[in-house]
Copies of this chain bind each other. A is one copy, B any other.
């Protein structure tokens, strides 16, 4: 039997308790918002959320991890003692995230997500555009449900925060697609891109929770900053999984990011810092119009060789640690433990 401390470093961290604790309430709020309308538009939404198959039949839940709602509710509960008043905000975050997934899948031409055909793959791109637009609209309508328990001025502040973050997210998605057509991007461009594409909504999740939990401006900013770092760590970890992850875990074919010429961090690192022979190997693969299986294998081997994997893992740990330092001191003991579990889970390491 391996030594426990070794196991601790390599085994996948357990799913944090906070996910399970909030999930039933988040899911019920989402179901109330999406409703049971039998039209195609709403069937596409329930399908994407993992509640129904493509014929509208109920299936065992297979939705995502609900990371954003969990972070929001954890912050709200830590500051106010209750998460109930933040549920519409948490649901709005999940709907925004899922809107972005539906449109991303069209943009990337991804045939599968969470081991099921994507919405466009079942109903075609034009209708999938509508599904994403509707999901996005429901996110806003969800947020307006906050009106029941909060002052209108606070609801407006929440709406502004969410909308600003959505705009950043869309800017990031635009940059991500642009960068796929460039030969190379700098680390600064990469950080700007994932800061918008991924970190903005995670920062928003924690800040929104703080806002709805009654936190003042300074507290909100600290949650925001911590969430931003967590988002960077999360995306960098996702970049690692996009190359070295197993399809069975990620639900995406291994090597897909490379075949699609995504400028993910290991690739950015390789293109910018590798010695000449390795850099030339990378650029010659990327210069081909299509990256084949052989090309993918060559890129992976080269990135291993130049230490891209260790470099990115070190950055994941750096940003995860920043996130914890920013937020943990603001939380009571049990919430701080929850946060540690979540950070470990999202970044694949124990803290």
> Which A residues contact B (CB, under 8 angstroms)?
39-41, 103, 106-108, 125-127, 129-130, 132-134, 136-138, 140-141, 144, 147, 151-153, 155-156, 159-160, 163-164, 166-167, 170-171, 173-175, 177-178
Contacts and interface: CB of A to CB of B under 8 A. Distances in A.
A163 B144 contact: yes
Contact of A152 (B39, B103, B152, B171): B152
Given A107-B129, A136-B136, A177-B127, A141 B164 contact: yes
B174 A130 contact: yes
A41 B136 contact: no
Given A40-B178, A129-B103, A129-B107, A159 B140 contact: yes
Looking at chain A's contact residues, is the secondary structure mostly helix, strand, loop, or mixed? Answer: helix
Number of copies: 2
A174 B40 contact: yes
Contacts of A151: 152
A149 B198 CA distance: 34
A223 B209 CA distance: 38
Given A107-B129, A144-B159, A159-B159, A134 B167 contact: yes
A322 B222 CA distance: 56
A174 B141 contact: no
Contacts of A141: 160, 163-164, 167
A163 B133 CA distance: 11
A66 to B, nearest CB: 22
Contact of A144 (B39, B108, B125, B156): B156
A220 to B, nearest CB: 17
